[in-house]
Structure 1
Amino acid sequence: MGGGPGGLGPLLWAAQHGRFEAWLDQGIALVERSGRLGGTLGQYGINSDSLGGSYLECLASAGWPTALQHLRHDPVTLEMERYQKSYPPLPLVNRYMGLVGLAVAEMFTGHPTSALHLHTTAQSVHLCEDGRVAVVVHGQNERPRTLVARSAVVALGGRQHWRDELAAPGLKFVDCAMRQLLSSNELLTHDGLAQANEIIGDAGDRSIVIVGGAHSAYAAAWALLQLPAAASLKDGQIVILQRRPPRIFYPDRATATADDYPFEEGDICVRTQRVNRMGGIRGHGRDIWRQIARKPNVQPESRVAVLTLQDFSATQLRVALEEAALVVPCLGYRSATMPIFDPAGQRLTLKADINGDAVDGDCRLLTADGTPLPNVFGIGLGSGFRPTQAMGCEPNFRGQANSLWMYQNDIGAVIYREIQLLAEERQTAVAA
C-alpha cells in the first residue's frame, strides 16, 4: 500500500533480479491514493541527498525486464545521467520516479492475477484467523471494499512528530507561542520557501531558529540562504540549535583527512570504506556545514551560528523560540500509521503510534510491546529500519535507514524474501 519511492522498493529489487514478472503472476495488489506511482518529491525546492547514480543503478542490472528497458533511453533518464555523480534537483527526481512508476504500472496490465488500484485509499488492515490479511480500501466515488492477501506491505510515508517533543526539560514546543513556524517538511516545499522569503524580508533583527542537527537542519539552512531576502541577513542571524555535532559523509578516508575531519574506525563502512556512509550529511547540507565550519577551499558562511541546545535553560529557550521571526523544527520523521485490527476485531497499538520504530530487522510491523506482526511489513521514510553492517553500514551508526538505494536493494530484498517464505509456508501447510 503506497506507490512512492519506498513502496516501489521491493518491486524494483525484484525487477533487478529477474523476479518481478513471476511475482506479478503470483498476484500483487498495489493500492495508491494518488493517480501515479513514484511519490511526490516534486513539491520540494531542494536537491536530493542521493547521487543521481543511485536512482539510475537499477536500470543497468542484468535481470532488468525487457518491458522496462526503454527507460534506459528516455529523455528524463538522460537528463538524470547528468547528475550521475552529483545531487539532482528533487523536481527532476520526481519526473524520473514518475517515469519509472508509469512503466511499472503498465506491467500490471499484462498479468491478470495482479491489480493496480490508483486513486484508492487503504483504510485499515484486518488480521484473519486463517493467517491472511484483509485490507479495506475505497476509491473515488466508490463504496469500501476488501482485498484479501497472504501479506501486506505498508508504505505510507513519514510524519513529523516534533509538536509533543521536549525542547528542553520541562518545555514542549507546543507550549511556546512562536511567531511563525514551519516544520522542515513544510519549509522545503516551493510554497514553504516562498513563505520563508517573506518572513525573512520582514524579520528585522529577529533570528531564524532551526532546531535539529541532522541533514534536514543543514538542508534547511542551505535553502534559506538561497532565498533573495537572505542577502539582508546579518552575521549569526540564522541559528542552528543542535544537541550534538552532525556526522559528515566523505567518499573515503583520504578526503576526510584532507578536510581535517576527525573520524574513528567505527565510522568507516565495512562494505564501501566510505566515512559515515549511512549517518553522514550529504549534498547541499554538507556544503553549508563545510562553509559554517570554515573548511578548506570554501567561502566561510557567517550568517549561520551553531549553538548547543543543552546550553539553554527552559526559560532561555522559550525566549529564543518566541522572539524568533521563524522557527523551523527539524527533528526527524516517524512512520505514518493506519488502523490494524487483530482477528477479534480489536485495534492494535503499533510501536509507531507511540513514536517508536515501526519495524524490526525483517521489516515486520511492531506492536507497542515489540511483537512483530507475522505478515504485515513496513517500508519507507521514518520506518525505523536499522541496517546491518553487511548491508553497508558503519559500525557506529545507530540511526534508521531512509535511503532510496536501500529501499531498492537490501531493504527491498528483505521484504521480497520474507513474503516468498510466507507463500512457501502456506503452500506446505495446504499440501500437508
Structure 2
Amino acid sequence: MSAAQRATKVATQPDIGRIVRLDTGGSPKMLGSVIVGGGPAGLAPLIAASQAGFLDRVLAGGVAIVEAGAVIGAGGIGRYAISSDSSAATIASCVRAGRAPWLVALHDHPATCAVASYGDGAVPLALVGRFLTVVGAALHAVLAEAPDCSVLTGHQALYTRQVDGGSWRTVVRRGADGARASMVSRQVVLATGGHQPEARLRHHAVAGVPLFAQYGAKVMQSGEALTAAGLAVITQRLEGSGARHVAIVGSSSSAIACAHALLQLPHGGNHGVRQVSVLHRRPLRVFYPSAEAALADGYDEFGPDDICPVSGFVFRFAGFRLDSRNLVMAARGIGGRAAPDRLHLHRVAMDRPDPKAQAILENADVIVAALGYRPRALEVQDQSGRVIPLLADGPGAPPMVDGACQVLDSRGAPIPGLLGVGLAAGFPSGTSAGGEPSFSGQTNGLWQWQNTVGAIISEHARVAADGMGRDRVSAGSTPL
C-alpha cells in the first residue's frame, strides 16, 4: 500500500482515542505540539523538521494536526485562478530536495513532475494545490504510523486555554456530529490562515474618499476576485457597460496578480475588460537577482539598503516576481518593454486631494480592494477562561507574531508556548529570514514557511518533544 493510500485509509478511520478525550470524562495524554490548521503553513514546520533530520524526535513527543477540511496539505490555495509568485523549482524543492524516505517517495510522483515541468516559471495555483495535497497525504501517513500522533480532519478548533505547568488545552469540535474533544500539549501552533474582514473597508479611505461608504455596491475584495467564481462575477458585472473599467486599490502582490488575471480574460467588442487601473500608494518595486542585472536593464531605483546582504538580490522581499514582475515592468517601460494598452498605474497622493484617483474610482464599474490579509487567530484563554487579547486584534495592522514566531498579547509580549505561522501572521523581515534592510513588511511564501520560518517552529517543537521524553522517563512512562 502506498503512502497516499495509507493516508486515505487513516483519514476515514481515525484512531484518536489515545490522545484526545471527549469532554464527558477521562484524561488526555500530554502532547508535544498541537498544530491548528493543516494547510501549507501548518505542514511547513514538520517539513522543515524532516529536512533537518529530526522529524522522528518531534513526532516522538506527540503531534496532532487539527484541520476543518477533509484532507491536509493544500488549504485554500487551489481555489485561486492565478499562478504562483514563486518558481516551480522552488515549490517542488520541498520534495525534490528532500532526503527523508516519505519525501523521496514523491520525487517522481505525477503531481511533483507536473509542477517541476514549469521550471523557473510560475505555476497555476490549482496545480500547486494538487501537489500539496499529495504531500499532505504522505505526511498524514507518516503521522498515522507514529505513536501518540494524529490528524483530526473534519474538526474545528474552538479555543485553546492555558493550564497548570505552562501547557495548553485545545478544544475541538467534530463537524460531522458536533462532538467535542480536547487535547493537552506543551505548545500550540496557529496556522489558521488569513482573511479580509469587511469591517476594514468601512474605515478605509482612498484619495480622501471612504471606499465602502461611497462605492460599496461595486467593491469586491481581492480574495474573492482572484477565484474563478470571482472573475466570472466581474465579467458579468461588466456586461452591458460601455466603460468596462476595473479599478484595483492596493500595492500588494494580490493587486498586481488581480490585474494580470483580468487582462488575461477574453475581451473584444462589447465583452471583457477594456481598462484596468491600479491605484497604489507605495512604489511598485521589481525583483532582480543582482544589482548588476538591474543596472543592465536600466533599473536604478534602489540603494544599498534595498539589496539583501545574504543573497545579493535587489528587492528580495518587496519586489514583484514572475508574471506580476513582467506586468509591472511592462507598465513602467522598464528595460524597453512595451506598455500594455489596457493597464494604467496611478500612484495615489498621500498628503493632498487626488482628483484623478477620485475620477478613476467614480468611473469604474468594479473596484477590487487588494488591501492584504489579517490573521484568523484562534481564541486564546487564560487559566480562568478569560480571553487573552492579542496584539493582532488591535487597530491598524499589527503582527500576530514576533521574530521567534511567538504569538504576541495586546501589550506586545510573547505568550509562552503559543506560536504562529502562515499568511498574515506578520513574521517580520530582518530576522533570520534575511531580506533587504529597507523592507518593513512581513515575510510570506511557501519556501519561507518550509525553511527559515519553519525551522524556527520545528526547533520549538523539537525542544517540546525532548521535554516530553524527559517527563515520561521521570514519571515512569505514566501519561501526564
Report the TM-score when normalising by structure 1: 0.93
Q: Where does residue 139 of structure 2 map in the other structure?
A: 104
Query: Equivalent residue for 1:288?
Result: 327
The letter for the 1-side match of 2:335 is P
Give a deviation string over 1:394-432, Cα, whole Å, max 9, x none. 111111011110100010111111233345567778969
Residue 91 and residue 426 in structure 1: after superposition, are their counterparts in 2 closer, same or farther (change >3 A)? Answer: closer
Paired letter, 1:337: A
Query: What amino acid maps onto 1:106 in structure 2?
Result: A
Deviation of residue 304 (structure 1)? 1.7
Greater shift, 113-122 or 15-24, is seen at 15-24
Is residue 194–residue 373 contact of structure 2 (8 Å, CA) maintained in 1?
yes
| Match status 1:202 vs 2:237 | no
The equivalences for 1:193-232 within 5 A come to: 193-205=231-243, 207-229=245-267
Q: From 299, 303, 308, give the equivalent of 2:342.
A: 303
- Could you tell me how far apart the structure 1 residues matched to 2:254 and 2:145 are? 41
Q: 1:231 to 1:369 in 2, by over 3 A?
A: farther
What is the match of residue 53 of structure 1?
Answer: 89
Q: In the alignment, what sits opposite 1:143?
A: 179
Distance 1:280 1:82 in 2: 25
Alpha-carbon offset, residue 175 of structure 1: 1.7
The one-letter code of the counterpart of 1:132 is: S
The answer to whether structure 1 residue 173 and structure 2 residue 198 are counterparts is no
1:275 maps to a residue whose letter is: V
Letter in 2 for 1:149: S
Deviations 1:226-255 (A, max 9, x none): 111367699993221111211211122232
Describe the superposition over 1:290-327 as per-residue Cα deviations: whole angstroms up to 9, x where unpaired: 11112335332122221122267388766643542000
The answer to whether residue 125 in structure 2 is matched with residue 90 in structure 1 is yes
Tell me how far apart the structure 1 counterparts of residues 107 and 380 of structure 2 sit (CA, whole Å).
40
Alignment partner of 1:325 out of 356, 365, 381: 365
* Structure 1 unaligned blocks of 5 or more: none
2:9: which partner in 1? none
Do 2:169 and 2:185's aligned partners in 1 also have CA atoms closer than 8 Å? yes
Q: Deviations over 1:74-101 (max 9, x none)?
A: 1111111112311111111011101100
Distance 2:155 2:341 in 1: 49
Q: What secondary structure, in the 3-state scheme, does the structure 2 residue paired with 1:197 have?
A: helix
**Unpaired runs of 5+ in structure 2?**
1-35, 476-480
Q: Would the aligned equivalents of 1:160 and 1:334 in 2 still touch at CA under 8 Å?
A: yes
- 8 Å CA contact 2:207–2:349 kept in 1: the answer is no
1:350-381 deviation line (CA, Å, top 9, x unaligned): 11222410001111111111121110111000
Q: Which amino acid aligns with 2:88?
A: G
Contact (CA 8 Å) 1:359, 1:378: kept in 2 or not? yes
1:344 aligns with 2:384: yes
Task: Judge conservation of contact 2:348–2:354 (CA < 8 Å) in 1.
Answer: no
Amino acid at match of 1:237: Q
| 1:183–1:95 CA distance, 2 compared to 1 (3 A) | same
Kept in 1, the 8 Å contact 2:265–2:272? The answer is no
8 Å Cα contact 2:246/2:366 also seen in 1: yes
Which residue type is aligned with residue 336 of structure 1?
A: R
Q: Of 437, 460, 464, which residue of structure 2 is paired with 1:418?
A: 460
Contact 2:267 2:274 in 1 (8 A): no
Q: Does the 8 Å CA contact 1:239/1:306 hold for their aligned counterparts?
A: yes
Aligned residue for 1:130, secondary structure, equals helix
What are the residue-to-residue correspondences of 1:147-158 with 2, within 5 Å? Answer: 147-158=183-194
Q: Which one-letter code corresponds to 1:345 in the other structure?
A: G
Q: Does residue 242 of structure 1 match 2:280?
A: yes
State the TM-score, normalized to the length of structure 2.
Answer: 0.84
Identity score, percent: 32
Letter in 2 for 1:13: A
**Residue 315 of structure 2 aligns to which amino acid in structure 1?**
N
Q: What pairs with 1:59-78 in structure 2 (closer than 5 Å)?
A: 59-61=95-97, 64-78=99-113
Match runs of 1:109-128 below 5 Å = 109-128=144-163
1:253 equivalent among 285, 288, 291:
291
Change (3 A) 1:27 1:390: closer
Q: Kindly tell me: are residues 78 and 429 of structure 1, through their superposed partners in 2, closer, same or farther at Cα, counting changes over 3 Å?
A: closer
Instruction: Tell me how far 1:199 sits from its aligned partner.
Output: 2.5
The amino acid that maps onto 1:68 is L
Q: Give how far 1:168 is off.
A: 4.0
2 CA distance for matches of 1:134 and 1:383?
A: 22
SS at match of 1:310: coil
8 A contact 1:199–1:326 mirrored in 2: yes
Q: Alignment length, in residue pairs?
A: 431
The answer (yes or no) to whether the contact 1:80–1:96 under 8 Å persists in 2 is yes
Aligned residue for 2:66? 31
Q: Matched residues in 1 for 2:179 and 2:469: separation?
A: 33
Over the aligned positions, Cα root-mean-square deviation in angstroms equals: 2.5
Contact between 1:212 and 1:242, CA under 8 Å: does it hold in 2?
A: yes
